[in-house]
Chain A
Amino acid sequence: MTGQRTGSRAAAGLVGLVGFFLVWEVASRTGLVPAYYLRPPSVVLPTVVRLLGDTGFLRALVATVFATLIAVAVAVAVAVPAGLLLGSVTWVRRAVMTLVEFLRPIPSVALIPLALLTFGTGPDTKITLAVYGGLWPILFNTMYALDELDPLHVETARAFGVGRLGVLGRVALPSAAPFVLTGIRLTFAISLAVVVSVELFSGGTIGLGQFILEASSGASQMDEVLAATVLAGLIGYGANAGLERLNNRFFAWNARGGGR
């Protein structure tokens, strides 16, 4: 990738963003949407800057980000080994897949009331639900990546005396790693959404969702609601961009069509 192309792509992305803010500004100023609730960006953006200096808000922001990161870490720790197991042992996969297909479509947001009653309003609840919601992309990507595993890679390792577990760790896992990372990107987005949702529901916790809920209770603070929303979006954007850079840095071999 040339530097020039990266530059022009970033510029194109910026044009889109500026365009979006312009439409928002115009819609709000002309009364196309109720300006009282949907404050224009010229009001919201300075609020974003002000909030970044506000200790109360920063505590909420950090709480949400931490909860999300922990949820993603737990999801990785659970889903990668589980995916390797389901992807490599046929009878386990047959035994478990029906259960997985039943659990997966349950929206984790629907479980919020149950989880709040079970675990209380502490951070456990939002982390548990975020893990539940975010587990699936990593699990499925790991599992299906093993289906794509090149049999000749496996035979090569076996011919050098590498055992079954060695093949799993030294061949299957690295070969699946780019797919796992793609799963992690999806998982981050889902976990963030679930964490903020739980915070919106449960009183007495600290987090972006709770901040938004409290700010919206007095309608005069709609600029803060929108500013917090914009920041939540920025977190998601930043995480995705960071993981994409990680992918380009470490998994170039996959893009170059190395083995598959």
Chain B
Amino acid sequence: MTPTMLQVTDLGHTYQSKDGPYDAIDALGFTVAAGELVCVVGPSGCGKSTLLRTVAGLIRPSRGSVSLHGTPVDGVPEDLAVVFQDYSRSLFPWLTVQRNVEFPLRGLPRAERAARAAEALAAVGLERAGRKYPWQLSGGMQQRVAIARALAYRPALLLMDEPFASVDAQTRFELEDLLLRVRREQDTTILLVTHDIDESVYLGDRVLVLSKSPASVVAQLPVDLGEHRDQITTRASDEFVELRAKVAGLLQGVPQTEPVAP
């Protein structure tokens, strides 16, 4: 039995807006085991980002608790990294690619910082881009820099907020495969939020389906597609097609125990 990396219990968050209180998430509960890649999929605006920001310690939840390898999260945990959707606003334009990747490593000796950054950049195939600035790179490359920055930090848990939603389809496939490869090599635990059903099934060991706002967990589907996946054959396999239909059905609120009416 692998140890639990992340435990989310009865999590709820209420925003105070001008129109009164607004429940973004409610009674959310799930766990992520060490080394697991869990995808969270839900209808747009259902509170996925709120969930992720709460886990990251950026928002203090109104109810419930989050704990990371057994320690309750209060404030930003030390060994956690986030990759946001908007790479162009998440990378620092005044720093070179190398310095961006070194950004979270302050406190380490200079030589080790450089070595870790070089290693992380090599892992995402950008070993030659260190001296460039983020804005000199394509969108897909910028998101790879953001992934490298998160990896260089060697987090116990990597959070990804719609990380591939702002790149074109071809780049998206490349980045998905890159993520699967890097995670195999480095054994990272990942919680990835997406609105893309196919992506959640293609990447995840498990897919958490969220309800409409206030979000709670509707279903947890194990994905049994093996460690090595392929954009063409995996996506064409029966298991993949069946799973994606199941997730799509759950998202539309179709009860899974009853047959779909014609």
A10 interfacial by beta-carbon distance below 8 Å: no
The stretch from A125-133, A158-166, A182-190, A194-202 touching chain B is: A158-166
Using Cβ atoms and an 8 Å threshold, which residues of chain A touch B78? 161
A150 to chain B, nearest CB (A): 5
> A91–B246 Cα gap in the complex (Å)?
52
Q: Residue A257 contacts which of B82, B103, B135 (CB distance < 8 angstroms)?
A: B135
B9 interfacial by beta-carbon distance below 8 Å: no
**B88 contacts A259, C-beta separation under 8 Å:** yes
B76 interfacial by beta-carbon distance below 8 Å: yes
> A177–B92 Cα gap in the complex (Å)?
13
A256 interfacial by beta-carbon distance below 8 Å: yes
A62 to chain B, nearest CB (A): 35
**A256 contacts B135, C-beta separation under 8 Å:** yes
Number of interface residues of B (CB under 8 A): 27
**B90 contacts A174, C-beta separation under 8 Å:** no
Interface size class of A (residues with CB under 8 A): 20 to 34
A159-B92 CB under 8 A given contacts A257-B135, A258-B135:
no
Q: Residue A153 contacts which of B53, B56, B90, B133 (CB distance < 8 angstroms)?
A: B90
Using Cβ atoms and an 8 Å threshold, which residues of chain A touch B93? 253-254, 256, 258-259
> A160–B84 Cα gap in the complex (Å)?
12
A155 interfacial by beta-carbon distance below 8 Å: yes
> A192–B64 Cα gap in the complex (Å)?
61
> A156–B153 Cα gap in the complex (Å)?
13
Q: Which residues of B contact A (CB under 8 A)?
A: 53, 56-58, 76-78, 80-82, 84, 86, 88-90, 92-95, 103-104, 106, 133-135, 153, 159
The 6 closest A-B pairs by CB, nearest first: A258-B93, A160-B104, A159-B82, A253-B93, A152-B89, A259-B93
Q: Which residues of A contact B (CB under 8 A)?
A: 150, 152-153, 155-162, 170-171, 174-175, 177, 251-254, 256-259
